[in-house]
Amino acid sequence: MPKSRWLAAIGQRPWVALVIAVMVIALDQWSKQIAMAELDFRSPQQVTSWFNWMLTYNTGAAFSFLADAGGWQRWFLAGVALAVSVFIVVWLFRLSPGDRGLVMPLGLILGGGVGNLIDRLLLGHVVDFISLHYQSWYWPAFNLADSAITLGAGWWLLSAFFSSASPPEKAPVS
């Protein structure tokens, strides 16, 4: 089997998503440990004119949604992340051959979700440390798990948009 076909075949196996997820989780947790050990909380370390390392904690969801909700959001968001993760794993092993292009993006989403779930369960918050900005406009801080989720979701949407699968034929009306 030619190398390109072999790589394409591997990318269509559901277990590949689990390997990708484990790699994302490991890199995410490793990078967060380094950030917590090396950075001072809310003290930006300039890397470029538009990029800082800055340790911060997010008790909410994306863009700090629900961050000031009083604590209940920790368990609610952990439950949502756990439910979505189980859903993705089940979905992966039920993919039809025509949908196997979703294996890699779903692996990224799963790994990112579980990486942040681990933080939420063990620490009560998600560790963020990447800060992008333009002049005085700052994007909310994020981490590698967030990046994997965003990359996976974007890949998934592009796959759906550019899918060559034809829609199912309608049954004739009698």
Burial 38-47 (b: 16+ CB within 10 A, else e): ebeeeebeee
Torsion, Cα 68 74 76 80, to 10 degrees, reads 120
Find, among 130, 125, 91, 129, the residue nearest to 110 by Cα. 91
Asked whether the beta carbons of 127 and 83 are under 8 A apart, the reply is no
| C-beta separation of 58 from 128 below 8 A | yes
How far is it, in rounded angstroms, from Cα 123 to Cα 102? 31
Active site residue 128: yes
Active-site residue, selected from the candidate residues 28, 40, 68, 146: 146
**DSSP characters for 50-110?**
SEEEEEEEESSSGGGTTTTS-SHHHHHHHHHHHHHHHHHHHHHHH--GGGGGGHHHHHHHH
- Of the candidates 40, 68, 119, 128, the residue annotated as catalytic is 128
At residue 169, the 3 state secondary structure works out as coil
Active site residues: 128, 146
